[in-house]
Amino acid sequence: MEPKEYRSSIIERRKDVLASLENLGVKIYEQMDKGYFPSVEMPSRSTDNIYYDQKLRQFILGDKTVRRSARNIRHLKPFAQLVWAALFSYELTSQRKTSTLRDVYYSAQAYEMTFKDQQESNNIITDLETVLGFSREDFNIFPEERSAVFGDLTISYTVPGYEGKTLNLTSHPDGVMIGPALTSAEFVETTADKVIAIEKGGLFTRFIEENVHKKFNALLVLTAGQAPRATRHFIRRLNRELNLPVFIFTDGDPWGMHIAMVIISGSANAAHLRDLTTPDAKWSGVWATDIVNYKLPTDPLDEIDMKRLYELQKDPRYKEDPLWQREIKTFMKIRRKAEQEAFSRYGLTYIVDEYLPAKLEETR
Amino acid sequence: MEPKEYRSSIIERRKDVLASLENLGVKIYEQMDKGYFPSVEMPSRSTDNIYYDQKLRQFILGDKTVRRSARNIRHLKPFAQLVWAALFSYELTSQRKTSTLRDVYYSAQAYEMTFKDQQESNNIITDLETVLGFSREDFNIFPEERSAVFGDLTISYTVPGYEGKTLNLTSHPDGVMIGPALTSAEFVETTADKVIAIEKGGLFTRFIEENVHKKFNALLVLTAGQAPRATRHFIRRLNRELNLPVFIFTDGDPWGMHIAMVIISGSANAAHLRDLTTPDAKWSGVWATDIVNYKLPTDPLDEIDMKRLYELQKDPRYKEDPLWQREIKTFMKIRRKAEQEAFSRYGLTYIVDEYLPAKLEETR
């Protein structure tokens, strides 16, 4: 089945998820009813079936498919595991309980369904994502990691016990955690006209203290390193539903650059999904050229950093915009990297007073 | 100077911090005024001066002292760095701006104060903690990591722009982030009669969804692995100011056990500080004996786990209560470990319906 395009209404989406799980069950039941061995077909996720799509600006799966059939003795166990994963996902989603990949692994034992190890159960959940085109967060299977958001956006919860309750995301000046309740909330209203995503917690707090949300009419999102999938989906929603441009600020090194890229164009691992990317988001810094222009304190790029730069240089996602190639080349030339905090050499508020407005202007 | 005993009022404490920094400046100035080379004396933090104090139930520093004098050419640089750290801390605290250790390192350059590397500036901040007996969070230098809290506690902020505003900690069902604003808030009122601290994010969310805060009148604290210092201080405040008993739930392995221990009795690294521990808190599970009694799915303890158990067995903190030694021995005997999620083998809510009430009763 084709991966699902984004829909704005959380409640509509939940209905689609449940219908899609029911539909899988019906298909399997009908096959058995007709006397056939039940089977499921899905796109292959092997690397030779992953392509970069220039229109979608993300990786997608090609035409190769794989089939799991109860007729094939080698498929029998993964087929049963997949059906169990669908049952468990249906229970989670309909009962509105959340879970983690780790929990799924142990929960299987309550059903006398066995997985060899965590990796095996993770793979089956990815199979289910691929078959149905929904992501595991849609089945209420969430990552452990939490990031945060702050700014003038009022949300309305859809989780049990909080239905219809609203919260303004300036309510808590440490930032509001992005967990299952926030990612399943509807957006009510905002005065913001942009989103600023920030890699580091210390800087996120600095931005709040310096009133960046007011001065720049911005919603501030903390990615806390590589943004968890739920956060990437949340950023996409801010961009799509509220029409807010997204600016990403990371450390000035290949890893920071890639944090921005994964928010923009996603990863090859999620080629079977469609709603984790924000192709129009901008990487606003710290660029290699910023390191030069702002004379930032630096550390040398080590061998692992350099190896990573060579990998990124060949990556199709980095061929979209000449900016990426220019910055990769500059990193290779100067062989230095700089953290976001390096701007503190000009005083704690320089990054907010000088750097941020200059870069928002440059990348808008 | 003696490490500071806990005080309930945040605003009083901030005044003490500023007075203590001013006092350091005055002392140095007076020495110079009298024509002496200025110097500072502080307890030595070398391992031969760290003792376990059975009354305080934490590590403390002994009588050995070290002196930094401007007269000694080798002391001149660290002395100047210490004075700069005090100046910078004074600016942060009085201007109510927060910072991180990383930021401190870079900020020094704005003052033409140089540190060889991050480690050197971290050490100087610890020196300042030792000289003044306050922790760096008191100087508004916070860790990057954030954990969370949820439950019926109303707080009143003291941070700029939010002074006097209140928030009930059930406002956001993903949990409320414990950052600089929350840790500097006053407690207004609560109906809770206990604190339950939880290692894992997925379980924290499960507890919220299953209404553990209501069913058990509890404030739920997510430690997110090893609890950040700000969170340990926050747990101590809940215990001291609100008289709430604290129960800690971790994975059933030496690392989980030690997460609980560091909340209870702190670490040797913080022997110069007094307000990061909660000696009356209880480690309520997952015990090695729980693994046996509840027949939990397990993984084998590896060599690193076993080595860690031998270390803990000899640690004075683990000799306080026979429970610790019994559990260490049981781990060594069964050579197995289990995660908190392992209870999901009995269904997702078993941990809340059966295990939690049994353990609260057993360890109260």
Q: What is the pLDDT of residues A276-307, one digit of tens each?
A: 999 999 999 999 999 999 999 999 999 999 99
The structural architecture, per CATH, of the domain B147-363 is 3-Layer(aba) Sandwich (3.40)
Q: In this structure, which amino acid lies at residue B16? A: D
Q: Which residues contact A337 (CB under 8 A, 6 or more apart)?
A: A251, A252, A253, A254, A291, A298, A299, A300, A301, A305, A331
Residue A143 has a pLDDT of 87
Task: Please give the span between the terminal C-alpha atoms of chain A, in angstroms, as a whole number.
Answer: 36
Residue B126 has a pLDDT of 97
**What integer best gives the mean pLDDT of chain B?**
95
Per the CB < 8 A criterion, the answer to whether B236 and B254 are in contact is no
Percentage of the residues of chain B whose pLDDT score is greater than 70: 98
A161 touches chain B (CB under 8 A): yes
- Buried residues in A322-341 as b, exposed as e (16+ CB within 10 A): eebeebbebbbebebbbbbb
Q: In this structure, which amino acid lies at residue A69? A: S
Q: pLDDT, tens digit, for every residue of B245-302?
A: 999 999 999 999 999 999 999 999 999 999 999 999 999 999 999 999 999 999 999 9
Residues of B in contact with A178 (CB under 8 A): 174
Contact B172 A171 (CB under 8 A): yes
Give me B231's structure tokens. 């969170």
What was the ipTM of the complex prediction? 0.92
Confidence of residue A146 (pLDDT cuts 50, 70, 90): confident
Contact B180 A205 (CB under 8 A): yes
Mutant choice from B344, B354, B355 vs A, greatest count of A C-beta within 10 A: B344
Contact A172 B172 (CB under 8 A): yes
- A28 CB-side CA count, 13 A: 21
Residue A1 has a pLDDT of 52
Per the CB < 8 A criterion, the answer to whether B136 and B93 are in contact is no
Give me A115's structure tokens. 């997985």
Q: pLDDT, tens digit, for every residue of B44-67?
A: 999 999 999 999 999 999 999 999
Q: Which residues contact A295 (CB under 8 A, 6 or more apart)?
A: none
Selecting from B159, B173, B344 the residue whose C-beta is nearest the C-beta of A107 gives: B344
Q: What torsion do the CA atoms of A360, A236, B170, B181 make, to the nearest 10 degrees?
A: -20
Per the CB < 8 A criterion, the answer to whether B175 and B221 are in contact is no
Triad A204, A205, A211: Cα angle to 5°: 95
A170 touches chain B (CB under 8 A): no
Choices 3.40.50.620, 3.90.1150.10, 1.10.10.10, 1.10.3080.10: CATH for A10-139: 1.10.10.10
Residue B143 has a pLDDT of 87
Between helix B229-241 and helix B254-265 the angle, nearest 10°, is 60
Q: pLDDT, tens digit, for every residue of B297-330?
A: 999 999 999 999 999 999 999 998 999 999 999 9
- Report, as an integer, the average pLDDT of A64-73: 95
Q: pLDDT, tens digit, for every residue of A42-65?
A: 999 999 999 999 999 999 999 999
Mutant choice from A107, A113, A147, A172 vs B, greatest count of B C-beta within 10 A: A172
Triad B73, B17, B65: Cα angle to 5°: 40
Mutant choice from B84, B121, B146, B207 vs A, greatest count of A C-beta within 10 A: B146
Q: ω before B286 within 30° of 0 (cis)? A: yes
Residue B6 has a pLDDT of 47
B151 touches chain A (CB under 8 A): no
Selecting from A176, A200, A348 the residue whose C-beta is nearest the C-beta of B144 gives: A200
Confidence of residue A9 (pLDDT cuts 50, 70, 90): confident
Residue A8 has a pLDDT of 56
Residues 129-148, chain B, touching A (beta carbon < 8 A): 142, 144-146, 148
- Report, as an integer, the average pLDDT of A337-352: 95
Selecting from A162, A205, A348 the residue whose C-beta is nearest the C-beta of B179 gives: A205
A98 touches chain B (CB under 8 A): yes
Triad B273, B275, B281: Cα angle to 5°: 125
Contact B341 A106 (CB under 8 A): yes
Q: Among all residues of chain A, which has the CA nearest to that of B100?
A: A202
Helix/strand/coil (H/E/C) assignment for every residue in chain A: CCCCCCCCCHHHHHHHHHHHHHHHHHHHHHHHHCCCCCEEEEECCCHHHEEEECCCCEEEECCCEEEEECCCHHHHHHHHHHHHHHHHHHHHHHHCCCECHHHHHHHHHHCCCCCCCHHHHHHHHHHHHHHHCCCHHHHCECCCCCEEEECCEEEECCCCCCCCCEEECCCCCCCEEECHHHHCCEEEEECCCEEEEECCHHHHHHHHHCCHHHHCCEEEEECCCCCCHHHHHHHHHHHHHCCCCEEEECCECHHHHHHHHHHHHCCHHHCCCCCCCCCCCEEEECCHHHHHHCCCCCEECCHHHHHHHHHHHHCHHHHCCHHHHHHHHHHHHHCEEECHHHHHHHCCCHHHHHHHHHHHHHHC
Confidence of residue B178 (pLDDT cuts 50, 70, 90): very high
Selecting from B167, B172, B206 the residue whose C-beta is nearest the C-beta of A181 gives: B172
Per the CB < 8 A criterion, the answer to whether A148 and A175 are in contact is yes
Q: In this structure, which amino acid lies at residue B21? A: L
Triad B203, B207, B212: Cα angle to 5°: 155
- Report, as an integer, the average pLDDT of B95-103: 93
Residues of B in contact with A144 (CB under 8 A): 200-202
Domain layout of chain B by residue ranges:
10-139, 147-363
Is the pLDDT at B4 greater than 90? The verdict is: no
Task: Select from B4, B290, B318, B255 the least CA-distant residue to B133.
Answer: B4
- Please count the other Cβ atoms lying within 10 Å of the Cβ belonging to residue B212: 22
Contact B343 A106 (CB under 8 A): yes
Is the pLDDT at B2 greater than 80? The verdict is: no
Per the CB < 8 A criterion, the answer to whether B85 and B140 are in contact is no
Phi and psi dihedrals of A5, rounded to 5? -75, 160
Residues 292-331, chain A, touching B (beta carbon < 8 A): 297
Give catalytic status of residue A111 as yes or no.
no
Helix/strand/coil (H/E/C) assignment for every residue in chain B: CCCCCCCCCHHHHHHHHHHHHHHHHHHHHHHHHCCCCCEEEEECCCHHHEEEECCCCEEEECCCEEEEECCCHHHHHHHHHHHHHHHHHHHHHHHCCCECHHHHHHHHHHCCCCCCCHHHHHHHHHHHHHHHCCCHHHHCECCCCCEEEECCEEEECCCCCCCCCEEECCCCCCCEEECHHHHCCEEEEECCCEEEEECCHHHHHHHHHCCHHHHCCEEEEECCCCCCHHHHHHHHHHHHHCCCCEEEECCECHHHHHHHHHHHHCCHHHCCCCCCCCCCCEEEECCHHHHHHCCCCCEECCHHHHHHHHHHHHCHHHHCCHHHHHHHHHHHHHCEEECHHHHHHHCCCHHHHHHHHHHHHHHC
Q: Among all residues of chain B, which has the CA nearest to that of A199?
A: B144
